[in-house]
Structures are given as C-alpha cells and as structure tokens.
Amino acid sequence: QVQLVESGGGLAQPGGSLRLSCAASGRIFSINDMGWYRQAPGKQRELVATVTSGGRTNTAESVKGRFTISGDNAKNTVYLQMNSLKREDTAVYYCHAELRRSGISYYTHYWGQGTQVTVSS
C-alpha cells in the first residue's frame, strides 16, 4: 500500500527552472534511498539523482551543477531542483524509492507514475 506521489512537472523555457517533489506514503518502516530517473522518447531510462536517508547524494554528470536533489526524512519526501534547463532535459521523470514496509524484513523498490517535464521556447 506504499505509493509515490509526484508533483511539479510541466513546461519550462530553456534556462528556466522547475522543482519536482515526490512523497512516499503508506506503512513505511524505513527508507534507504529515494531519487529521480528520466526517460526520453527512444532512449533508456537513466539515473538523474538519488539521495539516501543519511544525506548522501549521487548525481548524473549530465545534470551536475544544474540539478540539486534533497530530501526531508520527516516527510518521506524527495525534491529535485532543476535550474538552467535545456531542451535535452525534456523527458518523463520518475520518482523511485528503496524502502522497507512496516513488518517486512527486506527492502523493495517502488516507482511513481512519472511526470512530464518539457523544456521548449
């Protein structure tokens, strides 16, 4: 009964900014990490950035210096601040979480439904 709810996608101008949010809800015992992946038409899904509950981040080279990932452990929420957007950032962005449900002894992976980000003039 865990779900990931994404928000913040939409249309931006080149050089503009968007902020994505993803909140994990349900009977969650602990979260190992949360993050964002994206998939453009005709391309494979790729890592954008992840953050662990301890605050360690991993960011793709293609967005380093432009995108910043952060998390709020109390809210089970991860954010992606996207600045200096480029047309090649256009993709469906998917939230991902690796977490333990209450009463379950192992980590499982969950995906959000995806949110469209379009960068166009």
Over residues 85-93, mean pLDDT: 98
Residue 88 confidence (pLDDT) above 90: yes
pLDDT in the model for residue 67: 98
Torsion over CA: 95, 78, 69, 100 (sign)? negative
CA 79 to chain centre: 7
Over residues 38-55, mean pLDDT: 97
pLDDT in the model for residue 12: 98
pLDDT in the model for residue 54: 94
Residue 1 confidence (pLDDT) above 90: no
pLDDT tens column, 4-17? 999 999 999 999 99
Over residues 58-84, mean pLDDT: 97
Across all residues in the chain, what is the average pLDDT?
Answer: 97
